[in-house]
Structure 1
């Protein structure tokens, strides 16, 4: 019996709450919406603010029933506080920008991730360390410093044919190192799978 009474009182309470909110909206809704629109400058945002104001009124029905002060004054104050809170929250986080604007504005300023280049340079440096100093010097002159075979020969004090021969064998040695490295990586991936 007590359960039935509490359900009945809950039903009456929700009905009276609904009546209260409907009555508040009918009496003060237009004024709240006009005030919120003036504060926000945006009709949709103003509608959200009015909805939040009415939710707060629903959560605090004692304010509506206490008879002290103006109900409209309280609602307008709540509306202003909600707009102020939203303004402060928006100012605290970065400006929201549409994706297409972001892509167009920052297309030139976005930098590629350089992690792959770092790994490649580390692997290449390791491979160059495994070469003989003669082979390494030839590759550095030709590929890093951009010299021709004749210029590299002059800088290294060796014949041009020797530069070409050492470059050939150095590259062949690097290919073999990379082939062994990829085979070991493939074996590791098979073990992991």
Structure 2
């Protein structure tokens, strides 16, 4: 058994030595940075390992390896694009009402509107917003505090910001005629 495992490990090492550089260069071309390419290649190798179960975990065919790198790079690109859009929404929201945390603006009408809008959120959403904005916690930390996944925390935060943006936009339109 040990001998077979050693042979398999040697086969993968040899395969990676001959194909790894080409796969990394392809991933680099698909992603835009060496760090992202390394992540894509690592994720691809993990997927390839799982695909090889029916082949007794022998190293994959080269075309399959390139296909997997391509698919993983496309997934990474989509995730990066979605993350960028979310970040832009958050930045837009914070730029729009940056003054609302300033105690000197306590009597400012916009700050009052925002406070009311935040108070109108459900408890789950309001809690995530307050932990993120006032406490400065990361989504992972919020997840630990609330006993939810970090993805759920991030999703609740995005949803709360969208609701607030809609509500404040509606209120501002009504106020300005």
Using structure 1 for the length normalisation, give the TM-score. 0.41
Higher RCO (CA-CA < 8 Å; seq separation 6+): 2
Structure label with greater radius of gyration? 1
TM-score by length of 2: 0.44
